[in-house]
């Protein structure tokens, strides 16, 4: 088995060595458990001024059976702070006064969620400064968190407060274990928000198409969406037919062998989903490849194959998928941290994954998409423990694992959980977002 620093220092001689030398010891992250509580403890809810979002959060938590604290208790599991009404940087004292002391008592895998309004819609320069400052503070808190805790910002557009519930639930829960220092943007919902009757099955009755589902992150996406109630159409190349069928059979879904770069891939998916399942509600564009080399040594076919699989195929397939997807559906694209930070030897891959971000943001604002009430979002994974990353040379691999605030690699399920959140009908107010699932990786932060 390949060496894993995090496992080495979790017990025995490795633990002793790390303690003696003051080396980092990654915490075990709290992850979602079906039937478990939303958050394991009390949540402190506070705000500046009227704090309209805090009021909504208190109701939401009461409904979810979570005890709301208004002062730090001995060990709060999370802090939700409403800064939507800040007018000047002086108002940020509220944050220091509330979050500072609470950090001392925060339970393991604790959560800090700070709400603000978008700086772009500020009505004064001082207000824009204060609003933008929130993001800076929360990113810094993410770096100060201990015990596997996360800190995220949620910017809610004026008039969009009713759209926050899904994001609050996601961020407090174990579903967001590896998501930290992100900025979520909640806007007016693109279609009616439908809260599920069972929050453990938020995708009940939905049909989800997942490309690249035979293994790795794609297989985890298929499993997670199926766990949450969706029927899966698992898509992969014919060469992966065996494992693909195994995934689809295990989940009670169907398998479709198709190369996503084929001209008729989109049409085949539509035909299959309609014939077998009567249509589809969710599309996850996950299939992806790497063909790494320095740009100086990158031949045309190496360049082209990566752009074809990772980007051009999505644009082509969407021409068939978008007219056919059910009203109020969800499209989720898989980008990468390399598409944000760039990476040596990955110009082709970075081009494709940055292109995915451009495509996501443009498509989310497209009138045809808005008319159909479809959300379009992307995840950008950082270092995720897969067969692919297990093959990276030891030193580079350990750097990838440790250079983030959570001091460990993420798991495929962490990417899958974020994709699932984007696909909830309870979540129609988050579109055009790109969320990194990277444990606040230093790269491109």
295, with CB counted inside 10 A (0-12, 13-18, 19+), is exposed
Chosen residue from 109, 211, 377, 404 binding ligand NAD by CB under 6 A: 211
Phi-psi category of residue 18: left, alpha or beta, with phi > 0 → left and psi -120 to 50 → alpha: alpha
Binding mask 254-273 vs ligand NAD (x if CB under 6 A, - otherwise)? -----xxx------------
**Quick check: 212 binds ligand NAD (CB under 6 A)?**
yes
Q: Which of 5, 178, 349, 421 is catalytic?
A: 349
* Calpha distance 39→42 (Å, rounded): 8
The answer to the question of residue 435 lying near ligand NAD (CB under 6 A) is no
Binding-site member from 57, 309, 325, 426 for ligand NAD (CB under 6 A)? 309
Distance CA(116)–CA(103), nearest Å, equals: 20
Judged by CB under 6 A, which of 288, 329, 373, 420 binds ligand NAD?
A: 288
225 binds ligand NAD, rule: CB under 6 A: no
Which strands sit side by side in the sheet containing 207-211, from one edge to the other?
A: 254-257, 231-236, 207-211, 282-285, 330-334, 375-381, 434-437
Q: Is 223 in the site for ligand NAD (CB under 6 A)?
A: no
Stretch that binds ligand NAD, among 76-84, 89-97, 192-200, 286-294 (CB under 6 A): 286-294
Told to check if 381 binds ligand NAD by CB under 6 A, we report yes
Q: Which of 27, 109, 176, 386 binds ligand NAD (CB under 6 A)?
A: 386
Interface region with ligand NAD, contact rule CB under 6 A, candidates 164-172, 197-205, 208-216, 427-435: 208-216
Bridging pattern class, strands 330-334 and 375-381: parallel
Which one of the spans 126-134, 158-166, 285-293, 358-366 is the region binding ligand NAD (CB under 6 A)? 285-293
Q: Does 384 bind ligand NAD (CB under 6 A)?
A: yes
Least distance between ligand NAD and beta carbon 268 (Å): 11
Residue with smaller CB distance to ligand NAD, 127 or 211: 211
Q: Is 349 a catalytic residue?
A: yes
- 68 sits near ligand NAD (criterion: CB under 6 A): no
Q: How far apart are CA 3 and CA 109, in angstroms?
A: 25
Which one, 85 or 440, has the nearer CB to ligand NAD?
Answer: 440
In the complex, what is the shortest distance from the CB of residue 183 to ligand NAD, in angstroms, rounded to a whole number?
19
- The one among 113, 145, 166, 287 contacting ligand NAD by CB under 6 A: 287
User: Tokens for 414?
Assistant: 């962490």
Residues acting as catalytic residues:
349
Q: Which residues bind ligand NAD (CB under 6 A)?
A: 211-212, 214-218, 236-237, 240, 259-261, 286-289, 309, 334, 336, 381, 383-384, 386-389
């Amino acid at each position: 088995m390949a060496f894993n620093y995090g496992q080495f220092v979790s017990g025995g001689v490795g633990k002793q060595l790390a303690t003696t030398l003051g080396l980092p010891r990654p915490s075990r992250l709290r992850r979602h458990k079906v039937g478990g509580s939303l958050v394991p403890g009390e949540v402190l809810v506070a705000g500046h001024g009227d704090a309209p979002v805090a009021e909504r959060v208190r109701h939401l938590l009461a409904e979810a059976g979570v005890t709301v604290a208004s002062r730090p208790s001995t060990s709060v599991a999370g802090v939700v702070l409403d800064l939507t009404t800040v007018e000047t940087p002086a108002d940020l004292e509220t944050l220091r006064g509330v979050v500072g002391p609470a950090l001392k008592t925060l339970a393991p895998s604790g959560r800090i969620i700070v709400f603000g309004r978008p700086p772009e819609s500020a009505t004064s320069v001082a207000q824009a400064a204060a609003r933008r400052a929130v993001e800076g503070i929360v990113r810094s808190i993410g770096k100060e968190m201990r015990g596997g805790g996360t800190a995220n910002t949620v910017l809610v557009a004026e008039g969009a407060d009713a759209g926050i519930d899904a994001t609050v639930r996601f961020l407090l829960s174990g579903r967001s274990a590896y998501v930290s220092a992100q900025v979520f943007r909640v806007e007016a919902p693109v279609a009616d928000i439908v809260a599920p009757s069972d929050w453990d099955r938020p995708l009940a009755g939905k049909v989800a198409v997942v490309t690249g589902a035979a293994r790795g992150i794609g297989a985890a996406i298929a499993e997670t969406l199926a766990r949450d109630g969706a029927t899966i159409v698992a898509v992969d190349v014919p060469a992966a037919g065996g494992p693909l069928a195994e995934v689809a059979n295990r989940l009670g879904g169907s398998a479709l062998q198709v190369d996503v770069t084929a001209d008729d891939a989109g049409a085949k998916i539509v035909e299959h989903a309609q014939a077998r399942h009567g249509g589809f509600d969710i599309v996850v564009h996950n299939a992806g490849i790497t063909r790494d080399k320095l740009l100086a040594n990158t031949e045309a076919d190496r360049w082209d194959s990566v752009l074809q699989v990772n980007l051009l195929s999505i644009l082509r397939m969407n021409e068939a998928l978008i007219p056919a997807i059910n009203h109020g559906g969800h499209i989720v694209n898989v980008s990468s941290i390399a598409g944000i930070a760039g990476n040596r030897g990955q110009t082709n891959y970075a081009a494709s994954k940055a292109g995915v971000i451009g495509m996501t943001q443009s498509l989310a604002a497209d009138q045809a998409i808005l008319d159909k009430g479809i959300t379009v979002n992307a995840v950008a994974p950082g270092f995720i423990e897969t067969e692919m990353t297990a093959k990276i040379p030891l030193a580079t691999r350990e750097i990838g694992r440790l250079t983030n605030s959570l001091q460990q690699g993420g798991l495929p399920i962490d990417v899958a959980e974020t994709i699932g959140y984007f696909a909830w009908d309870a979540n129609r107010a988050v579109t055009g977002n790109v969320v990194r699932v990277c444990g606040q990786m230093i790269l491109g932060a």
